[in-house]
Amino acid sequence: MIRHLKSPGLFAAIDRVPAPGTRAGERVFEVFNPSTGELLARLPDMGVDETRAAIDRAFAAQAGWAALTARERSDVLWRWHQLIVDHTDDLAAILTAEMGKPLAEAKSEVAHAAAYLQWYAEEANRIYGETISAPSTDRRMLVIKQPIGVVGTITPWNFPASMVARKISPALAAGCTIVLKPAEQTPLVAGAMFALAAEAGFPEGVVNLIYASEGDAIGRELCSNPKVRKISFTGSTEVGRLLMRQCSDQIKKVSLELGGNAPFIVFDDADIDAAVDGAIQAKFRNAGQTCVSANRLYVQSAVHDAFVEKFVEKVRHLPVGDGFDSDVAIGPLIDSHALAKIELHIADVVAKGGVVRCGGNRIGEKGTFFQPTVLTRISHDMTVAQEETFGPVAPIIRFEDADQVVHEANDTIYGLAAYFYASNLKRVWHVAEALEYGMVGINTGRMSSEAAPFGGIKQSGIGREGSRHGLEDYLEMKYLCMGGI
């Protein structure tokens, strides 16, 4: 049972979300609290047949949903937004219980989820076409925008509430219907959000949820079923590649938000205290389990020692523990595989001459807690600088030359997020333009917002989420040419 729930009815409704006819069989799977190992819930373990049934429902509902006025679709999104705001405390408690993040972070994530719904409730009313000056007088040429159709969405465990809203609110605003499979570790907050969606009054079949302990077969069905016209996925580059391959037979559209290897660069003209605070935020939010986490910190020689001293002092004092305990800044990692990966990265650093300045070890026997860790004397070729660590580990690389550091920062297959701290305006523009990333934080350690286009280049993904650009990703452009005028 989850502590602090104000309305246990919402939690009880999670189990009932999948529509009759889309839940068959007796199979169940279990959801655990990563801080305590406690069993939180047993959910129906749905498979290919149930996914197909959910797709059929979404397909049947598509034309009716698209035929509503933009204002009517917007009204339902507004009601859902309001219900999420009203249930923030319970949604946050469910999120902390199943994912582990500190309750304050969970509340901020629920607020962020609500902000996406608000944004796209507004944006639903702003879908515009265009008229084009025709090259001859007997023609008129126009462009209209129409919803893509049924969208299959697969969301990750690290932001189990905001990713649901970020993916499906633009799709719904555009007039698409959706089938969503949340991560098997964190299906509960998605279930609670869908229970509230039912209360908001979405017509039958517009939003459909699949609970499943195993994603491969569901993903394959979503990619290969011709009734699904687009896939939107957030997760690893490896899985994104696989889904894209599976979508290629039908030339199905994809939006992919994949892995990153974000550089965080501190130049010698930076405000060092601000850079330390920004690095704490960019590295340790969500215990380092975000795809925009600072993965490698580059600090210019003249300010390296001062930065390291201040940074280590703050990191040492970050409180780690159960997300429900007050003042906790860092919760557990999602599972034991995450712990093992971190340990491998640290062992590689130590074997190659790097230094553990603080942290470096698991905490306790119970749960999956790891000490916030700072590593120095890191070189670009160490595993920790090459691969996404996805944990509370900050490797620091000393650098001398400003052009060389941009070259090293770009020397990766990834291109999601980068950060840098500097004050010289010429340098700020030069570096911002030279970094090969979809998003660049300048003198800030946090940039995610419903108002901004979130997404990456290179092998970090395709498409953007948030802002007016996020809506375009769910619309098809149709050119109309009228002759004989």
Positions marked catalytic: 257, 291
The minimum distance between CB 448 and ligand SIN, in angstroms, equals 3
Cβ neighbours around 8 below 10 Å, total: 11
Count of residues that bind ligand SIN according to CB under 6 A = 7
Which residue stretch of 14-22, 173-181, 288-296, 323-331 sits at the interface with ligand SIN (rule: CB under 6 A)? Answer: 288-296
Q: Residues 154 to 193: which contact ligand SIN by CB under 6 A?
A: 158-159, 162
SS3 96: helix
The minimum distance between CB 138 and ligand SIN, in angstroms, equals 51
Handedness of CA 456, 462, 463, 466 (dihedral sign): negative
Which residue stretch of 11-19, 98-106, 125-133, 286-294 sits at the interface with ligand SIN (rule: CB under 6 A)? Answer: 286-294
* CA 228 to each of CA 48, 165, 191, 223, 407: distance values in angstroms, whole numbers, following the listed order: 14, 19, 22, 7, 41
Which CB sits closer to ligand SIN, 281 or 383? 281
- Note whether 304 and 398 are within 8 A (CB): yes
Give me the amino acid identity at 341: K
The minimum distance between CB 124 and ligand SIN, in angstroms, equals 22
Tokens of 78: 């507004």
The minimum distance between CB 45 and ligand SIN, in angstroms, equals 26
Which CB sits closer to ligand SIN, 47 or 260? 260
Which CB sits closer to ligand SIN, 292 or 334? 292
The residue count for the chain: 485
Which CB sits closer to ligand SIN, 157 or 420? 157
Distance CA 98, CA 80 (A): 22
Q: Residues 417 to 456: which contact ligand SIN by CB under 6 A?
A: 448
Is 292 near ligand SIN (CB under 6 A)? yes
Distance CA 58, CA 43 (A): 22
Give me the amino acid identity at 153: T
Which residue stretch of 87-95, 180-188, 191-199, 290-298 sits at the interface with ligand SIN (rule: CB under 6 A)? Answer: 290-298
Is 290 near ligand SIN (CB under 6 A)? yes
Which CB sits closer to ligand SIN, 74 or 290? 290
* CA 204 to each of CA 49, 62, 123, 173: distance values in angstroms, whole numbers, following the listed order: 19, 10, 23, 16
Give me the amino acid identity at 332: P
Of 399, 400, 320, the C-alpha closest to 367 is 320
Distance CA 387, CA 70 (A): 44
Rounded to 5°, angle at Cα 390 from 386 and 391: 115
Which residue stretch of 60-68, 272-280, 289-297, 400-408 sits at the interface with ligand SIN (rule: CB under 6 A)? Answer: 289-297
Is 291 near ligand SIN (CB under 6 A)? yes
The minimum distance between CB 254 and ligand SIN, in angstroms, equals 16
Which residue is it, tokens 């001459």? 353
Which CB sits closer to ligand SIN, 187 or 441? 441
What residues line the site for ligand SIN (CB under 6 A)? 158-159, 162, 290-292, 448
